[in-house]
Amino acid sequence: MTAADPVAGLTTAGVIPNIDTMDIQELVKIMAALRGEDGCPWDKEQTRESLKPFIVEEAYEVLEAIDEGNPAAIREELGDLLFQIIFQCRIASERGEFTLDDVIGGISNKMIGRHPHVFGDADVKTSAEVLMKWDEHKRREGKQRDSILEGVPKTLPALLQAQKLQARASKVGFDWEGVDDLMVKLDEEIDEFKQAFDAKKPDDIEDELGDVLFMLVNIARFIGLNPEDALRKTISRFISRFRYIEMSAKEQGRNLADMSLSEMDALWDEAKKKT
């Protein structure tokens, strides 16, 4: 049973809130107006499916702002992501399925129920114990799955999906003894990739490259690093250093495409010293 829509029938004429007193319900009203009879044609055309790419994009823009350590950007991008949640709730409300209040109530009840050490009398001392209690609570909720690997979204970025699957398997002891064993296995996978490459077998090359990447994710997980974060930081450094090459070429009045690789490498080395 969903709550009644608190903003049904609202028109744009009723939505000019005082920006000094805005709260989440004002945003709900704004969304209702955008989807209302006199609202925005684009917003009214959107569906759950059409908005999926925007949810992913906004989530990654939040991550980028966090990586940059920019509080103002984090605030703005969180707002954009929140708006996508409000958008989805509005569509659900129009279909008589649920409202934002239902979503907030559901997650509030879940968090209280899964943290008995905070909101109850359970006694836990470590993060590991918290996770154990979390899994126990999920089992009591009837969310025990046929496979420990179930529940990892297939739409996750591949590196993150691999990390989560490996972490799930490690819970039942399917893991490496130590990082030295992982390094030996990585060397083995790289050798197999080289052999496939030398044999010029495209399918084998792809398989072996996947194995190398999967092993690198395993190493990152084992030493407590997030492979997605590591790769994003490398990409950011690449962009910064390549932009240095572009700007240096421009300052010299030269076309980047006309520079030799050795000249670009020299500028790359300069950029590395600066970043």
Q: For residue range 168-224, what is the model confidence (pLDDT) as tens digits?
A: 999 889 999 999 999 999 999 999 999 999 999 999 999 999 999 999 999 999 999
Take residue 145 and report the two structure tokens written for it.
Answer: 């799955």
Whether residue 151 lies inside any domain: the answer is no
Query: Is residue 185 domain-shared with residue 212, that is, in the same domain?
Result: yes
pLDDT score at 142: 64
What is the DSSP secondary structure assignment for residue 156, as one 8-state letter?
Answer: S
Take residue 188 and report the two structure tokens written for it.
Answer: 């083995």
Q: How many structural domains is the chain composed of?
A: 4
Whether residue 193 lies inside any domain: the answer is yes
Residue 4 has pLDDT above 60, yes or no: no
pLDDT score at 144: 60
Q: Identify the domain boundary among 194, 210, 225.
A: 225
* Rg (alpha carbons) of the chain, rounded to whole number: 25
End-to-end CA distance of the chain, in Å?
Answer: 56
Query: Is residue 93 domain-shared with residue 107, that is, in the same domain?
Result: yes
Which residue, chain included where needed, has tokens 């044999």? 199
Cα–Cα distance measured from residue 54 to residue 42, given in angstroms and rounded to the nearest whole number: 14
Whether residue 163 lies inside any domain: the answer is yes
pTM above 0.85, yes or no: no
Whether residue 150 lies inside any domain: the answer is no
Whether residue 7 lies inside any domain: the answer is no
Whether residue 6 lies inside any domain: the answer is no
Q: Which residues contact 12 (CB under 8 A, 6 or more apart)?
A: 33, 36, 38, 39
Whether residue 5 lies inside any domain: the answer is no
Query: Is residue 122 domain-shared with residue 107, that is, in the same domain?
Result: no
Orientation of helix 48-68 relative to helix 71-94, angle to 10° = 160
Domain that holds residue 251: 229-274
Query: Is residue 216 domain-shared with residue 240, that is, in the same domain?
Result: no
Q: Which CATH number goes with the domain that contains 17?
A: 1.10.287.1080
Whether residue 210 lies inside any domain: the answer is yes
